[in-house]
A and B are shown apart, each in its own frame.
Chain A
């Protein structure tokens, strides 16, 4: 199972209003750089529910869906038991 994890993000907005996420802050303080933005489209998350603009980002060599939902941002996070951290 997975869940919707709302995250803090840093974004760049250009002159015409295009939004580009730069980095994602995880709740434990870790910071992940968005190495490449592959795709932007409106989409619903089939995995964790929710809907918004979906930014397909390459982070640490993996594709990650980052959603912007009415001003808030979330990622599809795996449910990991607490002790494995």
Chain B
């Protein structure tokens, strides 16, 4: 039997802020994006703010209504990244298979370690507290799904052990929505069959789940019965890359195609730059669109060949937008990502005739990048962006947000 730990840094961003400003522990506090740039949502909150009902993801003004004394601080991503790396160094003393899930969560496979799972979990918590000044919740179990459930059961700074003997008592009474991959839509479909707890899913015949939810139904049934066998992947940060993307909520609404072109250009440039920095090229361009009523959709297209060129990525994104959006409403945010990635040193399909203009375009974009690296992002700009203060000032590369990347056997 395996021993899997899932470690979750409690209120990560907020806790790190409190390390540097201990006085913030005594007041309700939230780390929030910049409302002026319309990124004004709660990214993380401390215990006092949580108690007042403040939720991650809600707008700052909503949070203020619930909690008038809320102190907000701007995010400091580099600092969080540093803490996340230090935590991973601590994990590495106990396991070599460490699968990060975002900056603040990770699975560890400690099977065969001389110490027991619970003892390792307790030691991790002690070290996080003493060495970093933050707290962890750790779930210890025999598979990844229950380990994750365990880390959610008791917070903050606690260890929860789920064994083959006790999971029926501990896990089965929990609502179905607690199970990994059960979101609102799946929850509704389960509820329609009167499956409300994880135990209901486990006791339901697997065929019936499969007919209701397809392949995912089978997967959930396995999860609920403790039969998840997905391995903890030894991932380093760069190996996790499956796609490279950037999105932005613009400082003002995107009203027409011309606005959209500027934003897509900025995003595509950033994506292309990041692809090249990692020595990657991709084949599939994906566009995500969100309008002012927060309705959103994503569309994607496969290109004829791998690319890391901003001009090609942007051209494709523009075409997708033109074909799929009729401008019934202005847009609030746009995103561009490139997937189906391959290393640029790998085999590539050559064209019959040398494509000199394309090579020159690569050289040109490379030169622009070089100028930006040496003199700053805004030292060189596209002429099309010069007229626009709002859109030209977006710098997605440095205003980055980090999203969790998870891999699962389905």
Which A residues touch B18, using CB under 8 A? 49
In angstroms, Cα B133 to Cα A75, docked, is 16
- Picked from A44, A48, A49, A70, the residue with its CB within 8 Å of the CB of B132 is A44
Contacts across chains A and B counted by CB atoms under 8 Å: 31
* Chain A contact residues: helix, strand, loop or mixed: loop
A43 → B minimal CB distance (Å): 6
The verdict on B389 contacting chain A, using a C-beta distance below 8 Å, is no
Contact B20 A49 (CB under 8 A): yes
Q: What is the chain B residue whose CB lies nearest that of A50?
A: B20
Which chain B residues in 95-147 approach chain A with CB under 8 Å?
A: 129-134
Contact B133 A46 (CB under 8 A): yes
- Give the size range of A's interface with the partner: 10 to 19
In angstroms, Cα B130 to Cα A48, docked, is 14
The verdict on A56 contacting chain B, using a C-beta distance below 8 Å, is no
B408 → A minimal CB distance (Å): 33
In angstroms, Cα B19 to Cα A46, docked, is 8
The verdict on B22 contacting chain A, using a C-beta distance below 8 Å, is yes
- A19-51 to B contact mask, C-beta < 8 Å, 1/0: 000000000000000000000011111101111
Q: What is the chain B residue whose CB lies nearest that of A1?
A: B23
Which A residues touch B130, using CB under 8 A? 43-44
- Picked from B21, B82, B131, the residue with its CB within 8 Å of the CB of A44 is B131
- Picked from B19, B82, B133, the residue with its CB within 8 Å of the CB of A70 is B82
B78 → A minimal CB distance (Å): 9
Given contacts A44-B132, A46-B133, contact A51 B19 (CB under 8 A): yes
The verdict on B405 contacting chain A, using a C-beta distance below 8 Å, is no
Given contacts A42-B86, A70-B82, contact A50 B131 (CB under 8 A): no
- Picked from A43, A48, A49, A70, the residue with its CB within 8 Å of the CB of B131 is A43
Contact A41 B131 (CB under 8 A): yes
Contact B21 A49 (CB under 8 A): yes
B134 → A minimal CB distance (Å): 8
Which A residues touch B133, using CB under 8 A? 44-46, 49, 51
Given contacts A41-B131, A44-B132, A44-B133, contact A49 B86 (CB under 8 A): no
In angstroms, Cα B22 to Cα A48, docked, is 7
Q: Which residues of B contact A (CB under 8 A)?
A: 18-22, 82-83, 86, 129-134
Q: Which residues of A contact B (CB under 8 A)?
A: 41-46, 48-51, 70
